[in-house]
Chain A
Amino acid sequence: MEVTRRDLLKGAAALGAAAAVPLTPAGARAQTTQKKELIIGQGGDISKFDPHFSTSSNDIRISFNVYDNLVSRRPDGKLHPGLATEWKTQGATTWVFKVRQGVKWHNGDPFSSADAKFSLERTFDPNMKTRVNTVFTTIDRIEAPDAGTLIIHTKKPDPLLPARLAFYGGQIVPKKYLEAVGGDTFNAKPVGTGPVQFVSWTKDDKVVLDANPNYWGGRIDVDRVIFRAIPEMAPRIAALLKGEVDVITQLPPDQGDRVNANASTRVAGALYAGLYVLAVNSKIKPLDNPLVKQALSLGIDREAIVKELWRGRGIVPSGPIARGDNHFDASLPPLAYKPKEARERLKKAGYKNEEIVIETTSGYTANDKPMSEAIAAMWKDVGVNAKVEIVEYSVRAQKNRDKSFKGLWWSDPTSTLGDPDGMMWRLLAPGGPQDYWRHAKFDELGEAARFSIDEKFRGQAYKDMTKVFLEHLPWVPVIQPYEDYGLQKYVDWTPNPNQQFEIRRFNFKMRRA
């Protein structure tokens, strides 16, 4: 029998069709699910359930779902009603919030404005030593005249108060329960008003949460939500590809193709509401010289970093304000790479080859170590005596506290308010966590912008502050990255740029057949 090319092709086609048959239903199945359980694999275990004692991203993914805030910032960046249904100002320094009626805590107690007053006051009560004690420093006093009304008096006009209430520190905790059982028991057996309620926590393994059947925002689409701690990246991705988990966090940029290439999974990303910057200890020589810092900034090829280390999953910043924030100036050009000019400015600064150290963590933020090494190499090319030192995370925390960094270090400031006040002013203000540099005009404008209700004035103030910033560079901004998640295709979910992980009904559902 003579076999022609055509026969061979036909045979191959038939084989292909036969192989494809069992794949099609499986492929279609992968797009929908009957699962009533949502499993999230994240890079670390939760450390605290008490929302006022942690701001770490592994913790707030859970605490923003166990608890509600008065105001909610959704992934669209806008403020929506939360436990407060509406709010308005009365005069310059008084805000009146209408508090949602009929809401119950997970233990059945009724929620009222007294809980909200208690929660907010708890954050800045010096005896409580909370981790969020600086969030509501603009508040003077709070009243709860009746169960449905909350009145907040601010020290000066505070246009961003609703935004402050929407992020960490603003989670509302139960007054009666907390006072009855104390902080430690509350942390071990948390009670909130949110869409999921606490069931169990096996340390370094998983947190199990059940859907709150009476959630005021509507019961979510699954019965149970499990957060698993999978610290290593490779097993985390394997767990997603194999279908053991439905969502994974902290998907590195170089793994996106793999997740997208897999038939049943996809990547969902959001441009981070914040920046990755090299913060500068401007108090030590030669980093006290603005010309040196300008040279360092001009010596970084950010395009190459975005392209090579981030596979394009990021944008080059133009200044200290993240894209997507209030008063982001779209007309400013991205920070430029000009090696020749960098060399000239070093010369002009009288730079004497002093060692300039980047103290980097390894894996605290994505790509921190590879970026440090790339940047040090770029700096060497323009004549900077650059050195990379690797420090462990707890050492970084200690240095942060003692303000003992030797030169530059990675910081990933989150824009907590969708406004420069919650980012550069929160961190760089006098007495703030990154107070290494002072400039009279910058300080004056930052303070005035914080307390002005005139958005036009505020806009101009941040423009002028940006100008000062770009001359003095208390931070050397490097990238505004995308934060990527891996999802099963049957999960409909939109990431929030500010790392808030919303599994409320408006933002999450499973595709059903």
Chain B
Amino acid sequence: MRGFLPFLGHRLFRAVIALWLVSTVVFVVMRLSGDPVPLLLPPDAPRSEIFRVRAELGLDRPLPVQYGVFLANLARGDFGRSIHFREPAFSVVRGYLAATLELGLTAFVLAALVAVPIGLFSAMRRNTLVDHAAMGVALVGQSAPTFFLGILFILLLSLKADLFPTSGRGDWRHLVLPALTLGAFTMASIARLTRSAVLEVLGADYIRTARAKGVSERWVVAKHTLKNAAIPIVTITGLQFGTLLGGAVVTETVFSWPGIGRLAIQSIYNRDYPVVQCTVFLAALLFIVINFFIDLVYGLLDPRIRAG
């Protein structure tokens, strides 16, 4: 593989820049959002007390100094101590991150496993009842708000049909409804995109050539169509992972899932700077890592990308 190492180095450099930018934006925005100290003390605490706690947390220092300390600690992997929980921010986030990964990856895999075959099938049975039905459902999945879908699933599949628990984290049965809810949008997007990507490839000259030389339809799809349609599908799949992390907030709230989305919201309300910074940093890191692997997959799928 020519130039793989420079490619890797370039990617890594860009990842570091992206992480630095994300951390800086969060640092600034959180400081603009207000002072955490009033939320920590009783409502009638005297002024002197507020100043004391502010000093204790290092919030009395000039912003550039706070920023310098923040970056220096970050470089050592130290996200600081949670103002609200009074323990290292990373150890707070770690527990939530596991829950979010469990949910996010399940939703992601579920979405990909269901959506790609549906999209493919729809494309091959273009303009039939099956195609219209599948794309109709996909449209609903893409347009229905997560909140609505979640409550609907709880009422229908849990309360009425008694198939799954209503909420909370536990065994695999607890995972099904939140993963379906979270994955619905992604599933629908991937299905629709797969359909159009496959349709486009199916109209290409080389497919007509393959068919003309008597290649079986199954082989046409497996060998010639799927591989060529894969690039846009893989791209959207990678980007959708970010949507999954972002969309997790609502799903986690509806299903009482103890994930980083809820933690981030709560920590923003509590103005718990270190936890918010740590959460966003790790989410960004995750997104970057996933997309890095997707870039690698591109190279495998299409030699032209590797070369270029």
Q: Which chain A residues have a beta carbon within 8 Å of chain B's beta carbons?
A: 47, 129-134, 184, 187-188, 202-206, 228-232, 234-235, 238-239, 241-242, 244, 392-395, 397-398, 400-402, 431-433
> Please, which residue of chain B has its CB at the minimum distance from the CB of A434?
B43
User: How far is A229 from B253 in the complex, measured between Cα atoms in Å?
Assistant: 10
Is B151's CB under 8 angstroms from A235's CB?
yes
Tell me which of B35, B96, B253, B266 contacts A398 (CB under 8 A). B35
Say yes or no: is B42 at the interface (Cβ < 8 Å to chain A).
yes
Say yes or no: is B280 at the interface (Cβ < 8 Å to chain A).
no
Is B38's CB under 8 angstroms from A398's CB?
yes
> Please, which residue of chain A has its CB at the minimum distance from the CB of B85?
A203
Write the nearest CB–CB distance from A48 to chain B, whole angstroms: 9
Write the nearest CB–CB distance from A488 to chain B, whole angstroms: 15
Write the nearest CB–CB distance from A208 to chain B, whole angstroms: 13
Is B262's CB under 8 angstroms from A235's CB?
no
User: How far is A232 from B269 in the complex, measured between Cα atoms in Å?
Assistant: 17
Residues 160-192 of chain B, each 1 if its beta carbon lies under 8 Å from chain A, else 0: 001001111100000000000000000000000
> Please, which residue of chain A has its CB at the minimum distance from the CB of B167?
A235
Residues from 11 to 62 in B contacting A, C-beta threshold 8 Å: 34-35, 38-39, 41-45, 49, 53
User: How far is A402 from B44 in the complex, measured between Cα atoms in Å?
Assistant: 10
Contact A134-B42, Cβ < 8 Å, known A129-B53, A235-B154, A238-B158: yes
User: How far is A244 from B165 in the complex, measured between Cα atoms in Å?
Assistant: 8
Is B159's CB under 8 angstroms from A242's CB?
yes
User: How far is A504 from B159 in the complex, measured between Cα atoms in Å?
Assistant: 31
User: How far is A431 from B42 in the complex, measured between Cα atoms in Å?
Assistant: 13
Contact A232-B42, Cβ < 8 Å, known A202-B95, A244-B166, A398-B35: no
* B-chain residues with CB within 8 Å of residue A133 when the two chains form the complex: 42, 45
Say yes or no: is B256 at the interface (Cβ < 8 Å to chain A).
yes
User: How far is A490 from B266 in the complex, measured between Cα atoms in Å?
Assistant: 35
Is B155's CB under 8 angstroms from A230's CB?
no
Contact A184-B87, Cβ < 8 Å, known A242-B158, A400-B43: yes
Say yes or no: is B281 at the interface (Cβ < 8 Å to chain A).
no
Is B44's CB under 8 angstroms from A433's CB?
yes
Write the nearest CB–CB distance from A283 to chain B, whole angstroms: 17
User: How far is A347 from B149 in the complex, measured between Cα atoms in Å?
Assistant: 52
12 A-B pairs in the complex with CB atoms less than 8 angstroms apart: A47-B84, A204-B96, A204-B258, A230-B256, A234-B155, A238-B158, A241-B159, A242-B162, A244-B167, A394-B269, A398-B39, A400-B43
Write the nearest CB–CB distance from B34 to chain A, whole angstroms: 6
* A-chain residues with CB within 8 Å of residue B234 when the two chains form the complex: none
* A-chain residues with CB within 8 Å of residue B276 when the two chains form the complex: none
* B-chain residues with CB within 8 Å of residue A229 when the two chains form the complex: 256, 258
Is B43's CB under 8 angstroms from A235's CB?
no
Contact A228-B168, Cβ < 8 Å, known A205-B258, A235-B151: yes
Is A398's CB under 8 angstroms from B254's CB?
no
Number of A-B contacts (CB under 8 A): 105
> Please, which residue of chain A has its CB at the minimum distance from the CB of B255?
A235
> Please, which residue of chain B has its CB at the minimum distance from the CB of A183?
B86
Contact A131-B42, Cβ < 8 Å, known A184-B86, A187-B86, A206-B168: yes
Count of chain B residues with a beta carbon within 8 Å of a chain A beta carbon:
41
> Please, which residue of chain B has its CB at the minimum distance from the CB of A402?
B38
Write the nearest CB–CB distance from B51 to chain A, whole angstroms: 13
User: How far is A203 from B259 in the complex, measured between Cα atoms in Å?
Assistant: 9
Is B43's CB under 8 angstroms from A433's CB?
yes
Tell me which of B34, B44, B169 contacts A431 (CB under 8 A). B44
Is B256's CB under 8 angstroms from A205's CB?
yes
Is B41's CB under 8 angstroms from A205's CB?
no
* B-chain residues with CB within 8 Å of residue A188 when the two chains form the complex: 87
Is B167's CB under 8 angstroms from A394's CB?
no
Is B45's CB under 8 angstroms from A129's CB?
yes
Is B44's CB under 8 angstroms from A204's CB?
no
Residues from 135 to 167 in B contacting A, C-beta threshold 8 Å: 151, 154-155, 158-159, 162, 165-167
> Please, which residue of chain B has its CB at the minimum distance from the CB of A44?
B266
* B-chain residues with CB within 8 Å of residue A129 when the two chains form the complex: 41, 45, 49, 53
Write the nearest CB–CB distance from B23 to chain A, whole angstroms: 23
Residues from 60 to 95 in B contacting A, C-beta threshold 8 Å: 84-87, 92, 95
User: How far is A184 from B82 in the complex, measured between Cα atoms in Å?
Assistant: 12
Contact A204-B263, Cβ < 8 Å, known A129-B53, A134-B42, A228-B256: yes
Residues 102-115 of chain B, each 1 if its beta carbon lies under 8 Å from chain A, else 0: 00000000000000
Known: A230-B168, A397-B43. 20 other contacts (CB 8 A): A129-B49, A134-B44, A202-B169, A203-B95, A203-B96, A204-B263, A204-B266, A205-B99, A232-B151, A234-B151, A238-B166, A239-B166, A241-B159, A394-B271, A395-B34, A397-B39, A398-B34, A431-B44, A432-B44, A433-B44
User: How far is A205 from B263 in the complex, measured between Cα atoms in Å?
Assistant: 11
Write the nearest CB–CB distance from A87 to chain B, whole angstroms: 27
User: How far is A235 from B166 in the complex, measured between Cα atoms in Å?
Assistant: 6
* A-chain residues with CB within 8 Å of residue B256 when the two chains form the complex: 204-205, 228-232, 235
Is B258's CB under 8 angstroms from A203's CB?
yes
Most buried by A among B41, B256, B266: B256
> Please, which residue of chain B has its CB at the minimum distance from the CB of A401?
B38
Is B155's CB under 8 angstroms from A238's CB?
yes
For the complex of A and B, 10 pairs with smallest distance between CB atoms: A204-B258, A205-B258, A401-B38, A238-B166, A235-B167, A433-B43, A239-B166, A230-B256, A394-B269, A238-B159
Tell me which of B53, B95, B158, B254 contacts A232 (CB under 8 A). B254
User: How far is A114 from B256 in the complex, measured between Cα atoms in Å?
Assistant: 41
Is A238's CB under 8 angstroms from B168's CB?
no
* A-chain residues with CB within 8 Å of residue B39 when the two chains form the complex: 394, 397-398
User: How far is A452 from B53 in the complex, measured between Cα atoms in Å?
Assistant: 37
* A-chain residues with CB within 8 Å of residue B84 when the two chains form the complex: 47
Say yes or no: is B270 at the interface (Cβ < 8 Å to chain A).
yes
> Please, which residue of chain A has its CB at the minimum distance from the CB of B50?
A401
> Please, which residue of chain B has its CB at the minimum distance from the CB of A431?
B44
> Please, which residue of chain A has its CB at the minimum distance from the CB of B44?
A433
User: How far is A204 from B260 in the complex, measured between Cα atoms in Å?
Assistant: 10
Residues 262-277 of chain B, each 1 if its beta carbon lies under 8 Å from chain A, else 0: 1100100111000000
Write the nearest CB–CB distance from A7 to chain B, whole angstroms: 34
> Please, which residue of chain B has its CB at the minimum distance from the CB of A133?
B42
Tell me which of B42, B49, B92 contacts A203 (CB under 8 A). B92
User: How far is A284 from B270 in the complex, measured between Cα atoms in Å?
Assistant: 29
Is B253's CB under 8 angstroms from A231's CB?
yes
Write the nearest CB–CB distance from A292 to chain B, whole angstroms: 26
Is A204's CB under 8 angstroms from B262's CB?
yes
